[in-house]
Amino acid sequence: MAQVELVKVAKNYGKVQVLKPLNLTIPDGSFTVLVGPSGCGKSTLLRLLAGLESLSDGDILLDKQQINNFDPADRDIAMVFQSYALYPHLTVAENMAFHMQVKKVPKAEQQAKVQQAAKVLGIDHLLKRLPKDLSGGQRQRVAMGRALVRNPKVFLFDEPLSNLDAQLRMELRAEIKSLHQQFRTTTVYVTHDQIEAMTLADNIVVMKDGLIVQQGDPLSIYDKPVNTFVARFIGSPPMNLLSGVFQNIGGKAGVSCNQLWFGLPEKWARQAMDCAGKPVTLGLRPHDLKPVAHSEQPAATLRLLEVTGESSLLHIDWSGFPLHVQFAGRARASTEQPLYLEANSEAIHLFDAQTGERLAEETDFVG
Ligand X SMILES: Nc1ncnc2c1ncn2[C@@H]1O[C@H](COP(=O)(O)OP(=O)(O)OP(=O)(O)O)[C@@H](O)[C@H]1O
| Separate counts of helices (H) and strands (E) for the chain | 10, 20
338-364: b or e for each residue (b if 16 or more CB lie within 10 Å)? Answer: ebbbebeeeebbbbebeebebbebeee
Choice from 24, 26, 40, 96 touching ligand X (CB under 6 A): 40
Is residue 86 within 8 A of residue 136, CB to CB? The reply is no
CB of 162 to ligand X, least distance (A): 9
305, β-bridge pairs:
314
Choice from 9, 26, 30, 44 touching ligand X (CB under 6 A): 44
CB nearer ligand X, residue 45 or residue 341: 45
Q: Which of residues 172-211 bind ligand X (CB under 6 A)?
A: 192
CB nearer ligand X, residue 44 or residue 110: 44
Which residues have C-beta within 8 Å of that of residue 217, sequence separation ≥ 6?
201, 202, 203, 204
How many binding residues for ligand X (CB under 6 A)?
A: 12
Residue 212 lies near ligand X (rule: CB under 6 A): no
Is residue 67 within 8 A of residue 60, CB to CB? The reply is yes
Residue 79 lies near ligand X (rule: CB under 6 A): no
Residue 43 lies near ligand X (rule: CB under 6 A): yes
Q: Give the type of residue at 275.
A: C
CB of 43 to ligand X, least distance (A): 3
Name the nearest CA neighbour of 180 among 158, 155, 204: 155
Choice from 15, 38, 71, 167 touching ligand X (CB under 6 A): 38
CB of 87 to ligand X, least distance (A): 24
What DSSP designation does 339 have?
A: B
CB of 213 to ligand X, least distance (A): 13
Contacts with ligand X, 105-134, as mask; x by CB under 6 A: ------------------------------
Residue 39 lies near ligand X (rule: CB under 6 A): yes
Over 96-108, what HEC string results? HHHHHHHCCCCHH
Binding site for ligand X (CB under 6 A): 13, 16, 18, 36, 38-44, 192
